[in-house]
Structure 1
Amino acid sequence: MIAPMVSTPTVPRGVRLGYGVGSFCTATVNAVPGLLLLYYMTNFLAVPAWLAGVVVTAPKVWDLVLNPLVGRWSDRTASRWGPRRPWLLAGACTLPIAFFLVFAGPPLTGVPAAAYVGVCFLATATAYALFEVPYKAMPGEMTHDYHERTSLLQWRMVFIGAATAISGVLAPAIATSEGGNGTLGSYRLMAATIAVIMLAAMLGSFFGTARAPMAGAPDADHGGWREQFAAIKGNSAFLWLTVLSCTQMLAVSMMLAGAPYFATYTIGSPKATQTLFAALVGPMLLTMPLWVRLSKRFDKRGAMLMGTLLFAGGTTATMATPLFGAVWAHVMVALVGVGYAGLQLLQFSMLADVIAADAARTGKRRAGVLTGLWTAIESGVSSFGALIFGVILSIGGFIESEPSNPVQQPESAVTAVLIGQTTVPAVIIFTSVLMVLKYRLTPPVAPAPDASA
């Protein structure tokens, strides 16, 4: 249970907006490569599917080392801008450039192309960590109120929905704007457009959070790594939330990597990637207030369980797309979107609760360390989604190609696409129900004379 606090600072609306707009960065930098990068390498750079999966995965594994370091550095940063905002600015100055270069390489194919993309994607992951870790640590320090954190993060989720629309609708639309399936030039235009949007969002978040409150911020924890990891090891709420998030995001990353293949080979139209993402994003934008109410009515764990079951049920039902067609696929993806909206909101709200509870228990500022570890482990595990999907394609006999030399995929490869997009993610997401039941952090309960709970 979260310890009750004496005061509850209210986060100004301008700060809520300023914080939320940063999600244009955190959402797009995950979704666009997760959605397009594997497909870009296999279908435009003639990179074998298994190698493309390795390229997408390897830089994310670097997060396991980097993110906790960035979190620790931000915890110990002392500046007139506060401990987090200098890092937001550092990310804003580096990430857009690195992201653009991923899709703007020299005319290479095969292994050399994979090597180039891998180096640029590693630089992107490094720059992203500078922004992402401090950014995610901030809500737990803005307010001590259990439900206000959910309300604060509702604004973030609205921006995530808008950013997901950009990632899933605008980015594929630009990427496929030339030649039906797209060209190298259209992918570069897409990367430049997304880079400009990310730059504006990151700078907006830096300036917009200038008046962000620090709700009784404790001193930074100056203990060594051994002491900090020992404390985290005993934090069961943090551990179960991390496992829960990793499981859910592994399934999400598989579905992102598989979406262009699902649109192309199951539905029969590469441009269906855009409409599928519209079906996903619509519920995210419309149902966020509903999830805030459900989290108050059934607590966050109960609402998380509902979201998980909706997501898993929709994913399972999508397996029937070859029987019922494209309309069925879009309706089921919309159902997934309703569940996904809840998962996204509640994951970050629960993380903020864990950070606040840890600060109350220890009297130390460790939001950066906790967030760094959480994002590092989540990113590292979820990055295997593209690798797993790439391996499934390879087992199914998927044939890599270039735009100038399109190929007819064997039936086994088309089946592998369907399995990798629906069956395997559904099994993974259903297992996360067990992790939801293990999470125990609840709101503070005011003492009463006849209280027995």
Structure 2
Amino acid sequence: MITPAAGTATVPKGVRLGYGVGSFCTATVNAVPGLLLLFYMTNFLAVPAWLAGVVVTAPKVWDLIINPLVGRWSDRTTSRWGPRRPWLLAGACTLPVAFFLVFAGPPLTGVPAALYVGLCFMATATAYALFEVPYKAMPGEMTHDYHERTSLLQWRMVFIGAATAISGVLAPAIAHSEGVDGTLGSYRLMALTIAIVLFAAMLGSFFGTARAPMTGAPEGDRGTWREQFAAIKGNSAFVWLTVLACVQMLAVSMMLAAAPYFATYTLGSSGATQTLFAVLVGPILLTMPLWVRVARRLDKRGAMVVAALLFGAGTTAAMATPLFGPIWAHVTILVVGVGYAGVQLMQFSMLADVIAVDAARTGKRRAGVLTGLWTAIESGFSSFGALIFGVILSISGFVESQPSKPVEQPDSAVTAVLIGQTTVPALIIFASVLITLKYRLTPPGEPEPAASE
């Protein structure tokens, strides 16, 4: 049970805005590569689908090392800017450059192209960790109040919705601005545009959180790695939340990787990628107040179950797209978007709760370690969505290509695209509902839910 904390802080509106704008980094770095990188490699650089899946996945596995390291470093940091903000600035100075280079390489194809993209994407993952891990640790240190953390994070989710809409709609629009599927030049222009957006948003978050309250945050944990991991192992709420996030984001990453293929080969128009993405992320902008009310009424665990069921229902219904056409596809993805909005808000709010409870229980500042581990494991595991989809495409006989040498895909590959976009993610997201029942952390003064059998 969460114990009440004295002196609950109210986070100023300016700080909420400053913190929220940093989500342009989170949303953009997840959305653009997740949406376009696999397609870019298979359809522009002639990289085999399975190898492209490995390239997308490998840097995320690196997160398992770098994210906990950054978290531990930020826990130990002492500066006039606080423990987290120096790292926000470091990420702002490195991530935009690395991101641009992913899509702006020399004219390579096949394995050499895969190696180049892989190295640049590894650098992107490292720079992203410098910003993202300390950034996610901050809400648990801004306020002790259980419900205020949800209110604070709804601001972040609104910015995530806006950023995801901008990146998920603007990036494909720029990438496809020269021809039906775009050109290498249009992809470079897209990368430059997104890099500028990243730099502005990350600097905005650094300056915008200058007055962020630190609610009596304890000193950083100076214990050994073995001691820290032993403590985390006994934190059942953290363990189940991490498992839950991994499973849910595996489904999301698989759908993102499949989206351009779904638009191109199921709906018959690569431009549909933008409209599908718009209806997916639109609910994030519109439904946050609704999900905050649902969480207050059903608690966060109940709200998570409702959100995951909506996500799964929409994904399942999308399987009928070949029968009912593009309008049906957009309606079903809209339902997925409503569920996805709730899933994202509950994940981040639950993580902030776990961080706050751990600090109150241990008297140590381990927000960075917890966030680093959570982000690393969730990011690394979810990246297998692109790999799984790439393997499905390879097994189905999908043929890699270049714009100058288009190919017609076999029927088996078209069917595999539909399965990868709908059937497999639906099974994964429904499994997450069962996992949610294992998470137990309640508001102050309320009994913990009974353990699920």
- TM bin, normalised by shorter chain, reads over 0.9
Q: Structure 2: how far apart are the matches of 1:283 and 1:330?
A: 13
Letter in 2 for 1:285: L
Deviation per CA, 1:381-425: give whole Å up to 9, x if none. Answer: 001000000000001100000000000000000000000110000
Instruction: Provide the secondary structure at the position in 2 that maps to 1:185.
Output: helix
Q: What is the CA distance between 1:435 and its match in structure 2?
A: 1.1
Aligned to 2:451: none
Q: Structure 2: how far apart are the matches of 1:419 and 1:167?
A: 25
Aligned to 2:313: 313
Instruction: Provide the secondary structure at the position in 2 that maps to 1:364.
Output: coil
Q: What is the CA distance between 1:168 and its match in structure 2?
A: 1.4
Q: Structure 2: how far apart are the matches of 1:252 and 1:271?
A: 20
Letter in 2 for 1:232: I
Q: Structure 2: how far apart are the matches of 1:284 and 1:54?
A: 30
Letter in 1 for 2:266: T
Aligned to 1:451: none
Q: Structure 1: how far apart are the matches of 2:177 and 2:416?
A: 27
Q: Structure 2: how far apart are the matches of 1:182 and 1:225?
A: 47
Instruction: Provide the secondary structure at the position in 2 that maps to 1:6.
Output: coil
Aligned to 1:301: 301
Deviation per CA, 1:235-282: give whole Å up to 9, x if none. Answer: 000000000000000000000000000000001100000000111122
Letter in 2 for 1:236: S
Q: Structure 2: how far apart are the matches of 1:47 and 1:27?
A: 26
Instruction: Provide the secondary structure at the position in 2 that maps to 1:218.
Output: coil
| Correspondence 1:182-193 to 2 at 5 A | 182-193=182-193
| Correspondence 1:2-81 to 2 at 5 A | 2-81=2-81
Letter in 2 for 1:187: Y
Aligned to 1:284: 284
Instruction: Provide the secondary structure at the position in 2 that maps to 1:62.
Output: helix
Instruction: Provide the secondary structure at the position in 2 that maps to 1:220.
Output: coil
Q: Structure 2: how far apart are the matches of 1:181 and 1:220?
A: 50
Say whether 1:167 aligns with 2:146: no
Q: Structure 2: how far apart are the matches of 1:104 and 1:446?
A: 54
Letter in 2 for 1:303: A
Aligned to 2:386: 386
Q: What is the CA distance between 1:446 and its match in structure 2?
A: 7.5
Q: Structure 1: how far apart are the matches of 2:29 and 2:15?
A: 22
Say whether 1:429 aligns with 2:429: yes
Q: Structure 2: how far apart are the matches of 1:293 and 1:252?
A: 24
Q: What is the CA distance between 1:4 and its match in structure 2?
A: 1.0
Instruction: Provide the secondary structure at the position in 1 that maps to 2:289.
Output: helix
Instruction: Provide the secondary structure at the position in 2 that maps to 1:106.
Output: coil
Letter in 2 for 1:222: R
Letter in 2 for 1:372: G
Q: Structure 2: how far apart are the matches of 1:78 and 1:282?
A: 39
Cα separation, partners in 2 of 1:327 and 1:228, compared to 1, 3 Å? same
Aligned to 2:210: 210
Q: What is the CA distance between 1:283 and its match in structure 2?
A: 1.2
Instruction: Provide the secondary structure at the position in 2 that maps to 1:227.
Output: helix
Cα separation, partners in 2 of 1:287 and 1:446, compared to 1, 3 Å? closer
Aligned to 1:376: 376
Letter in 2 for 1:414: V
Aligned to 1:450: none
Q: What is the CA distance between 1:7 and its match in structure 2?
A: 1.5
Aligned to 1:109: 109
Q: Structure 2: how far apart are the matches of 1:334 and 1:182?
A: 26
Deviating more after overlay: 212-221 vs 14-23: 212-221
Cα separation, partners in 2 of 1:405 and 1:139, compared to 1, 3 Å? same
Number of matched residues? 447
Q: Structure 2: how far apart are the matches of 1:110 and 1:206?
A: 39
Q: Structure 2: how far apart are the matches of 1:66 and 1:364?
A: 22
Deviation per CA, 1:122-172: give whole Å up to 9, x if none. Answer: 000000000000000000000000000000000000000001111211000
Letter in 2 for 1:416: A
Q: Structure 2: how far apart are the matches of 1:62 and 1:93?
A: 20
Aligned to 1:119: 119
Deviating more after overlay: 98-107 vs 277-286: 277-286
Q: What is the CA distance between 1:46 and its match in structure 2?
A: 0.2
Q: Structure 2: how far apart are the matches of 1:335 and 1:246?
A: 21
Aligned to 1:94: 94
Deviation per CA, 1:54-100: give whole Å up to 9, x if none. Answer: 00000110000000000000000000000000000000000000000
Q: Structure 2: how far apart are the matches of 1:56 and 1:7?
A: 45
Letter in 2 for 1:216: G
Q: TM-score, normalised by structure 1?
A: 0.98
Letter in 2 for 1:347: Q
Aligned to 1:219: 219
Aligned to 1:131: 131
Letter in 2 for 1:39: F
Q: Structure 2: how far apart are the matches of 1:247 and 1:176?
A: 31
Q: Structure 2: how far apart are the matches of 1:146 and 1:208?
A: 23
Q: Structure 2: how far apart are the matches of 1:416 and 1:257?
A: 13
Q: Structure 2: how far apart are the matches of 1:299 and 1:332?
A: 26
Deviation per CA, 1:2-48: give whole Å up to 9, x if none. Answer: 11111210000000000000000111001100000000000000000
Q: What is the CA distance between 1:431 and its match in structure 2?
A: 0.5
Letter in 2 for 1:81: W
Q: Structure 1: how far apart are the matches of 2:290 and 2:100?
A: 37
Q: Structure 1: how far apart are the matches of 2:269 and 2:180?
A: 10
Q: Structure 1: how far apart are the matches of 2:281 and 2:351?
A: 23
Moved over 3 A (4+): none
Q: What is the CA distance between 1:180 and its match in structure 2?
A: 1.1
Q: Structure 1: how far apart are the matches of 2:354 and 2:316?
A: 31
Letter in 1 for 2:198: M
Aligned to 1:341: 341
Say whether 1:332 aligns with 2:332: yes
Q: Which runs of 5+ in 1 are unaligned?
A: 448-453
| Correspondence 1:429-448 to 2 at 5 A | 429-445=429-445
Aligned to 2:270: 270
Aligned to 2:450: none
**Cα RMSD after superposing both structures:** 0.8
Letter in 2 for 1:319: M
